[in-house]
Amino acid sequence: MPDSMNLNKSSPDKYQLIFPICPSMTKSTEARTFALNIFGAVVPGVAQEDNEDHWQGAKIHRIVGAMDYLPYTINFLVDEEWRNWQYLYDWLALINNNKDLFTEERPDYVSDSEIIIKNNFNVAILNVSLKNMFPIDLSEVTLDQRAGEMELECSCTFVYDYFEVTRV
């Protein structure tokens, strides 16, 4: 018998991001996890390249390439001491700082991450695990007292090898 379909709407504020610290940036006395005040995230998109063939008047679509995992962007609030922003900056500088470090061994700067999606009762229902993730872009932070915003916002874009989706 097939599973019944639940027609309740999903809420965009029912998620949690588990973000372990990059192993090469961790000292034995530091915490092993990193928290961001995230106010916006997405479940990353995927795409496959297709090719359209014409045969006897018909159009046939075929997959011709590997699955393409699109970048993962999060929006977060910069904390009062700028620790979360600095951690992401240091992670980027660990990969390449344009001064004396131009590349680092890949296992030293990748980390796995998980997006846990919850239902309206705050119960985990889906787990999206991003494998071998690292940052490629840290946006600017606008320091403007006339803007009216009391919170400093920033975004960070990550790339990763692939993700796995499991039902909890």
15-42 burial code (b ≥16 CB/10 A, e <16) = bebebebbeeeeeeeeeeebebebeebe
- 4 falls within a domain: no
Q: Which are the contacts of 7, defined by CB distance < 8 A and separation ≥ 6?
A: none
Q: Which domain holds residue 67?
A: 15-167
Helices marked H in the chain: 83-95
pLDDT digits (tens, 9 = 90+) for 93-108: 888 777 776 666 777 7
Domain membership flag for residue 49: yes
Using one digit for the tens of pLDDT, what is the confidence trace for 20-62? 766 556 554 455 666 666 777 778 888 888 888 888 888 888 8
Share of the chain above pLDDT 70, in %: 76
| The predicted structure's pLDDT at residue 95 | 82
Residue 21 or residue 119, greater confidence: 119
In the structure, what pLDDT confidence band is assigned to residue 115 with cuts at 50, 70 and 90? confident
Domain count, the chain: 1
- Answer yes or no: is 40 within a domain: yes
Percent of the chain with pLDDT over 90: 15
Q: Specify the amino acid at residue 119.
A: N
Q: Which CATH number does the domain housing residue 74 bear?
A: 2.30.110.20
- CA angle (113, 143, 139) in 5-degree steps: 30
> Which of the two residues, 122 and 140, has the higher pLDDT score?
140
